[in-house]
């Protein structure tokens, strides 16, 4: 499929005073770090069918050179340019209930508009991508390149347990902890620090070995579970409510467990959390591939 006519994702705008002012405001990080998204998308890419891979490559801008993972953090870089997209990276659930309900939790807190959360966004961008066989690229009502990047990113985010966290602490963003010697917020520990520490300790600071180990688990110790990860009954090509429910459960069982403001998190917490992080990255990657394989194909059948 020819890549010509794909609407190319613009580079981030040049810093301006307004932009600098934005960075000076207190803001809450929401999202796996760059490595987390890269890992999810790398795992997904190796599991794409030939047909889905062709459509993905055609939708990617040329400078991505066919590598979806190189742009999987793009939605984190455009939150300022697209302020409407900020609440689409997470879900706030009621404090300490440890459950998730789409009708209750997936809405704009100010306007009450339904579907304004990461689960609603996954549904929306999945629906948009179903139009890929419609008008020639770039001429339809949707920007399918952006839809692909948002979907790929949000499939990662919804698997980060603290992206489906408690409302009052903003998914662990207002809980200060010491990650070994370093003061940071709990959300950041789960976005980046657990992965960072694993890279440093076990993989010579490279993400490739980590991806290899997660992939080995997918085809090894988790092989029996993998088919279940991608079955969700009649929910459609994506099952974000299942993913979100798992995340709030993991958040309660692992991320929030025995953690309050000022807690020091060390080896014990790291070793308990790491298998959870590996499995969530694996599930994100496997499920992203499964969704793309279901919706992106270039056959004549309809």
The whole-angstrom separation of Cα 155 and Cα 100 is 17
Q: Minimal distance in Å, beta carbon 86 to Zn ion?
A: 9
**Which CB atom, from 157 or from 241, has the smaller least distance to Zn ion?**
157
**Which CB atom, from 174 or from 263, has the smaller least distance to Zn ion?**
174
Interface stretch with Zn ion, choices 29-37, 48-56, 143-151, 183-191 (CB under 5 A): 29-37
Interface stretch with Zn ion, choices 89-97, 218-226, 263-271, 292-300 (CB under 5 A): 89-97
Neighbour-count burial for 176-202, b at 16+ CB within 10 Å, e otherwise: ebebeeeebbbbbbbbbbbbbbbbeee
Positive or negative, the CA dihedral 237, 241, 246, 250 is: positive
**Which CB atom, from 76 or from 169, has the smaller least distance to Zn ion?**
76
Give the one residue of 157, 169, 241, 243 binding Zn ion; rule: CB under 5 A: 157
Q: Minimal distance in Å, beta carbon 31 to Zn ion?
A: 3
**Which CB atom, from 58 or from 277, has the smaller least distance to Zn ion?**
277
Number of residues that bind Zn ion (CB under 5 A): 4
Q: Minimal distance in Å, beta carbon 144 to Zn ion?
A: 20
Interface stretch with Zn ion, choices 3-11, 28-36, 49-57, 209-217 (CB under 5 A): 28-36
Interface stretch with Zn ion, choices 5-13, 54-62, 81-89, 210-218 (CB under 5 A): 81-89
Q: Minimal distance in Å, beta carbon 173 to Zn ion?
A: 13
Q: Which two tokens stand for residue 185?
A: 């917020």
Residue with the CB atom nearest Zn ion in the bound state: 31
Give the one residue of 31, 61, 161, 165 binding Zn ion; rule: CB under 5 A: 31
Interface stretch with Zn ion, choices 88-96, 133-141, 210-218, 275-283 (CB under 5 A): 88-96
Q: Does 159 bind Zn ion (CB under 5 A)?
A: no
- For residues 48 to 77, the per-residue mask of contacts with Zn ion, x marking binding by CB under 5 A and - elsewhere, is ----------------------------x-
**Which CB atom, from 157 or from 250, has the smaller least distance to Zn ion?**
157
Q: Minimal distance in Å, beta carbon 140 to Zn ion?
A: 25
The full 3-state SS of the chain, as one line of letters, equals: CCCCCCCCCCCCCCCCHHHHHHHHCCCCCCCCCHHHHHHHHHHHHCCCCHHHHHHHHHHCCHHHCCCHHHHCCHHHHCCCCCHHHHHHHCEEECCCCCCCCHHHHCECCCCCCECCCHHHHHHHHHHHHHHHHCCCCCCCCCCHHHHHHHHHHHHHHCCCHHHEEECCCCCCCCCEEEECCEEEEHHHHHHHHHHHHHHHHHCCCCHHHHHHHHHHHHHCCCCCCHHHHCCCCCCCCCCHHHHHHHHHHHHHHHHCCCCCCCCEECHHHHHHHHHHHHHHHHHHHHHHHHHHHHHCCCCCCC
Q: Does 89 bind Zn ion (CB under 5 A)?
A: yes
Q: Minimal distance in Å, beta carbon 137 to Zn ion?
A: 25
- Which residues of this chain interact with Zn ion, rule CB under 5 A? 31, 76, 89, 157
């Amino acid at each position: 499929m020819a890549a010509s006519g794909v609407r190319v994702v613009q580079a981030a705008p040049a810093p301006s005073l307004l932009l600098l002012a934005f960075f000076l405001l207190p803001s809450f990080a929401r999202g796996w770090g760059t490595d987390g998204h890269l890992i999810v998308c790398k795992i997904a890419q190796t599991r794409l069918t030939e047909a889905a891979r062709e459509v993905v490559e055609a939708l990617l801008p040329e400078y991505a050179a066919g590598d979806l993972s190189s742009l999987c953090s793009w939605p984190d870089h455009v939150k300022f340019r697209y302020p409407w997209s900020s609440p689409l990276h997470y879900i706030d659930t009621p404090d300490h209930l440890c459950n998730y309900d789409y009708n209750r939790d997936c809405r704009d807190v100010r306007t009450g508009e339904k579907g304004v959360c990461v689960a609603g966004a996954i549904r929306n961008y999945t629906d948009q991508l179903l139009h890929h066989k419609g008008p020639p690229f770039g001429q339809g009502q949707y920007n399918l390149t952006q839809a692909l990047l948002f979907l790929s990113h949000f499939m990662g985010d919804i698997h980060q347990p603290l992206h489906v966290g408690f409302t009052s602490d903003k998914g662990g963003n207002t809980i200060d902890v010491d990650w070994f010697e370093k003061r940071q917020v709990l959300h950041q520990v789960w976005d980046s620090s657990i992965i960072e520490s694993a890279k440093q300790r076990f993989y010579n600071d490279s993400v490739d070995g980590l991806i290899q180990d997660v992939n080995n688990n997918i085809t090894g110790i988790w092989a029996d579970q993998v088919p279940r990860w991608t079955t969700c009954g009649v929910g459609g090509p994506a099952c974000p409510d299942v993913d979100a429910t798992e995340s709030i459960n993991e958040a309660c069982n692992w991320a929030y467990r025995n953690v309050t403001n000022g807690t020091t998190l060390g080896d014990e917490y790291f070793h308990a959390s790491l298998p959870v992080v590996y499995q969530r990255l694996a599930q994100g990657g496997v499920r992203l591939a499964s969704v793309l394989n279901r919706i992106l194909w270039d056959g004549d059948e309809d």
